[in-house]
Copies of this chain bind each other. A is one copy, B any other.
Amino acid sequence: MPIVDSQTGEVRVDYSVEELEAKAQEMRAWNMISLTAAGSGHTGGTLSIMDITAALYLKHIRHDPQNPQWPDRDRVFWSSGHKAPALYVALAATGYIDDRPLTFHDEPVPGLEDISGLEQTVLLRRLGSGFEGHPNRFKLPGLEFSSGSLGQGLGVAIGSAMDAKLRGRDYNVYCLMGDGEQDEGSVWEGVMCAAHYELDNLVGIIDVNRLQIDGPTEEIMKVQPLRQKYEAFGWEVIEIDGHDMTEILEALQQADAVTGCPALILAHTIKGKCVDFAEDVVGYHGVPPKDGRYGEESLERALECIGACEQFPPERVDDLLAIAETYQAYVDQRVAESMPKFSQDYWWNHGDTMQAEMDATRNGFGHAIAELSADEKVVAHGADITDSIRMDYFYKPDGKNEDPERKKRFFSMGIAEANMALVASGLAKEGRIAFIGSYGVFATGRNWDQLRTTVGYNDFNVKIADAHGGISVGPDGATHQALEEISLITCLPNFKMIVPCDALETARATKAIAAIQGPAVVRYAREATSVVTSEETPFEFGLANVIRYRGEQERFIDAFETTLACDYQSEGEVIAIIACGPMVPEAMRAAWILKEDYGIETRVVNAHTVKPLDAEAIASAARDAEVVITVEEHQVGGFGNLVAGVICKAGLGGDVKLDMVGVEDRYGESGQSWELMKVFGLTAEHIADKARKLLEL
C-alpha cells in the first residue's frame, strides 16, 4: 500500500523499485548530514536499516502524512530508538514535517521560518528541535511512541496489534528491532506472548547487522540462530537481504499474508551500509561520520560513497550545516538570557583566575577499576556499553592493552541487565567482588527487582557502576539520562551508595565500595566536570566534607578549604548548601558568587555518601545556617528529601528555610550537556539565585 489520502483513498505517491532505491540513498545522505551537524548519533544502525525504512514509509505501509493519527494507518514501532535519524528522514521525506513550523519554545526562529521538513532534520539532537536523540512522540508527528531503551518496542507493538483484533481493525503492526537487542529478556517475553495470542497482524523485523556496541554479537552474546529461536517460539520466519529492495518488498507482503501467528523478517544487513569507512566496523555504533583517513572531509566521503554528491554539492551541504548553526546561535542567546545575572560572569574558566581542570567522573571510575582488577577476587561484567562507562579499564588497565588474565575475569553479558545482576550475584556468592555497570537507567532500574531480591536480600558483594547519571548525559536525551537512582537504591536494605563529586573522588568512591561488605553503588556522570578534590582532600565513606570558600585564587581548587564535617567548627555561615555528585563544584561556585557579590559566607556540604547519609553533618549545617539549599542532578527530592528527613528528625524542620535544586519532576531531553544544566536550572547561578531569594537580597 503506497502513501494515500486518508479521506479519499486516492494514492498520493507510488514509487517504483528503482525510485525507492534512489530515495533510500537520498535518505542516507540526509542522515549523514544530520549526524554530522549533530556531532553525535548513530551512524552504523541508521545506514543498515535505511532500505527497510524507505520500503516501509515510501511504499509498503498504509499511511497519510497529512493525517498522522488516521485510525486505520499501519503502525511502525521503532524499538531500536537510537536509529531515530533514519526515522526522521523518512518522516520528512514523506511529508510529515513540512507543515510543522520550526520553533524554539513556541516562537519561530529568526531566519529559519521557511525551511523544509528535510532541512529541519539537520537540527538533530539540538535543544528544543524535536529531533531528539531518541524519538519523543510529543515532539514530532508520525511517531507511534517514544523509545530508546532497548527491548521495549515489541510489547507495545503487541498491545497495538491486540487492540486491532479487539476492534476488528485491519491495520498492520510492524516492529523494528536490532539483533543485539535480542539479548534483552523482555523481547522474549513479547515473542512468547505474540505467538500465544496468534497475532498475525504483527510483523517483527530484525536488522541483523551482526554488530553491537562492544563487538560482534557472536562474541558479545550469541543471539543466533534467530530463525530457529523464533520458530521454536511459534513465529513464521522469512530471511532476506535487507539491502535488496525487491526482496524487502516481497518479504513485507509475504509477512502480511501470514495467518495464525506473527511473522518475523530476518533482514541481513551491513552496519554502516554504503559508507566505506563505516561499513561493518565495530565502533561505528554511536558516533557521527568522522574518520581518521578523511578527517573533516568524512561527510564528503560519505556522500561520495552514497552517490549523493550531485544532489548535495559542497555549497548545499554548507548551507544545510549553517541551518544548524543559525538555530544553535539563537538557542544559545535564549538560554543565556534565561540565566540569573550577577555582577560578573562566574562561568567555568571564563576569567583569568579561578581556573578549573575538567575531567569526567567516569574516568575516575576507569582508573579505579584498573587498579582494583589487579585483585583476583574482583570480577566484572559488561552490558554492551563497556567503553562508554569505562568498565573496559578492568581488562585494559593502561587504557589501551588487554591483560589476558584480567580479561578472563571479565564477562560480557550483552544487553541483559537483569541477568547481569544475577550472574554477578552467583560469582559474589562464590567469594568474588563482582562489578556490574551500565547507564544508570539500566544498571539500577532495568534490574531493580533482581537488585532487591537477589543482590540485596542475599547481601551479595555486588558493586554497581551507575554511569551516565544526570541530565548532563546530553544529546542522547531522556531515555538515557538517569535521574532516579538515588530513590531506587536508598530504599533498599543492605545497599550503600556514593555519589562522588569529581573524577578523583569517583576513583576513591569506587575503591571504597569495593572494600565494604555487601551491595554498593557508585553513581557517576559522562561529561567532564571540574576537579575540586586532590589526594589531600579528606574522603571517608559515610562521612561528609565541609567545603569553605576562602577567596579567589589562580586555580579554582585552591580557593577552597575542605575538612571532614565532623572536624569542622562553625564559622557562622548564613547559608548551607548540601550537595552530592558533580553538583558539588556548582555549589562551590555558588559559594564564590555569593561571597563576591553579596559578601555572604556559605558552608558547602559534600554529602558524597548518600546511603548511609552523614546525619550529623547535615543536622549541624541546618542548626548553624539560616538557609539550607539541597542540590542534586536528579529528580528533585530524591536526595533533598533525605536531607529534609534528617533535618526534621533533628527537630529543626520548622526553623530553617529550605529549598531544593534539582530536576523538577520531568524527563530530560536532548541538548548539549552544559546547555541542559542551564535549561534545567542546575548551575551555580541557579543555586545562588535561590539563595538570594531565600535571604530576600
Whole-angstrom CA separation of A488 from B444 in the bound complex:
11
Interface 1/0 per residue, A489-502 and B, CB below 8 Å: 01111100000000
In the bound complex, residues from chain B placing their C-beta under 8 Å from that of A459 are: 138
Whole-angstrom CA separation of A180 from B459 in the bound complex:
27
**In contact, A192 and B223 (Cβ under 8 angstroms):** yes
- Closest B residue to A494 by beta carbon equals B667
Whole-angstrom CA separation of A225 from B478 in the bound complex:
39
**In contact, B192 and A145 (Cβ under 8 angstroms):** no
**In contact, B221 and A192 (Cβ under 8 angstroms):** yes
**In contact, A452 and B445 (Cβ under 8 angstroms):** yes
In the bound complex, residues from chain B placing their C-beta under 8 Å from that of A658 are: 648-649, 651, 653
Interface 1/0 per residue, A441-473 and B, CB below 8 Å: 110011011101110111100000000000000
The stretch among A358-366, A410-418, A522-530, A531-539 that forms the contact with chain B is A410-418
**In contact, B456 and A667 (Cβ under 8 angstroms):** yes
A69 → chain B, closest Cβ, in Å? Answer: 11
In the bound complex, residues from chain B placing their C-beta under 8 Å from that of A453 are: 146-149, 152, 441, 478-479
Interface 1/0 per residue, A649-666 and B, CB below 8 Å: 101111111111000011
Instruction: From known contacts A448-B488, A454-B156, infer whether A162 and B411 are also in contact, taking CB-CB under 8 Å.
Output: yes
Determine if A409 is an interface residue (Cβ-Cβ < 8 Å).
yes
The stretch among A17-25, A395-403, A420-428, A601-609 that forms the contact with chain B is A420-428
Determine if A184 is an interface residue (Cβ-Cβ < 8 Å).
yes
Whole-angstrom CA separation of A148 from B458 in the bound complex:
12
Whole-angstrom CA separation of A419 from B231 in the bound complex:
20
A652 → chain B, closest Cβ, in Å? Answer: 4
Whole-angstrom CA separation of A430 from B162 in the bound complex:
10
**In contact, A429 and B144 (Cβ under 8 angstroms):** yes
**In contact, A651 and B644 (Cβ under 8 angstroms):** no
The stretch among A115-123, A267-275, A632-640 that forms the contact with chain B is A632-640
Whole-angstrom CA separation of A490 from B665 in the bound complex:
9
- Closest B residue to A197 by beta carbon equals B411
Instruction: From known contacts A186-B185, A409-B166, A656-B653, infer whether A426 and B493 are also in contact, taking CB-CB under 8 Å.
Output: no
Interface 1/0 per residue, A179-218 and B, CB below 8 Å: 0000111111110110111000000000000000000000
Whole-angstrom CA separation of A184 from B161 in the bound complex:
21
The residues of A with any CB-CB pair to B shorter than 8 Å are 136-138, 144-149, 152, 154-164, 166, 183-190, 192-193, 195-197, 221-223, 225, 228-229, 231-234, 379, 408-409, 411, 413-414, 416, 418-432, 434, 441-442, 445-446, 448-450, 452-454, 456-459, 478-479, 483-484, 487-488, 490-494, 622, 628, 635, 637-638, 640-642, 644-645, 647-649, 651-660, 665-667
Max chain B C-beta neighbours (<10 A), residue from A423, A456, A493: A423
A688 → chain B, closest Cβ, in Å? Answer: 19
In the bound complex, residues from chain B placing their C-beta under 8 Å from that of A229 are: 229, 232-233
Instruction: From known contacts A426-B157, A493-B666, infer whether A457 and B146 are also in contact, taking CB-CB under 8 Å.
Output: yes
Instruction: From known contacts A196-B221, A449-B149, infer whether A422 and B158 are also in contact, taking CB-CB under 8 Å.
Output: yes
Known: A146-B453, A155-B419, A185-B186. 7 other contacts (CB 8 A): A162-B427, A445-B452, A448-B448, A488-B488, A493-B666, A651-B657, A653-B656
Whole-angstrom CA separation of A449 from B430 in the bound complex:
29
**In contact, B137 and A458 (Cβ under 8 angstroms):** yes
Whole-angstrom CA separation of A642 from B449 in the bound complex:
23
- Closest B residue to A428 by beta carbon equals B159
In the bound complex, residues from chain B placing their C-beta under 8 Å from that of A665 are: 493
- Closest B residue to A483 by beta carbon equals B491
In the bound complex, residues from chain B placing their C-beta under 8 Å from that of A157 are: 426
**In contact, B641 and A185 (Cβ under 8 angstroms):** no
Instruction: From known contacts A487-B488, A656-B648, infer whether A430 and B159 are also in contact, taking CB-CB under 8 Å.
Output: yes
- Closest B residue to A196 by beta carbon equals B222
**In contact, B145 and A454 (Cβ under 8 angstroms):** yes
The answer, among B189, B454, B492, B653, for a CB contact under 8 Å with A654, is B653
In the bound complex, residues from chain B placing their C-beta under 8 Å from that of A654 are: 622, 647, 652-656
**In contact, B423 and A158 (Cβ under 8 angstroms):** yes
**In contact, A659 and B667 (Cβ under 8 angstroms):** no
In the bound complex, residues from chain B placing their C-beta under 8 Å from that of A156 are: 422-423, 425-426, 429, 454
Instruction: From known contacts A161-B426, A232-B229, infer whether A647 and B641 are also in contact, taking CB-CB under 8 Å.
Output: no
Whole-angstrom CA separation of A221 from B193 in the bound complex:
7
- Closest B residue to A81 by beta carbon equals B453
**In contact, B189 and A419 (Cβ under 8 angstroms):** yes
**In contact, B645 and A637 (Cβ under 8 angstroms):** yes
A572 → chain B, closest Cβ, in Å? Answer: 17
A149 → chain B, closest Cβ, in Å? Answer: 4
**In contact, A152 and B422 (Cβ under 8 angstroms):** yes
**In contact, A648 and B635 (Cβ under 8 angstroms):** no
Whole-angstrom CA separation of A271 from B514 in the bound complex:
45
**In contact, A645 and B660 (Cβ under 8 angstroms):** yes
**In contact, B416 and A189 (Cβ under 8 angstroms):** yes
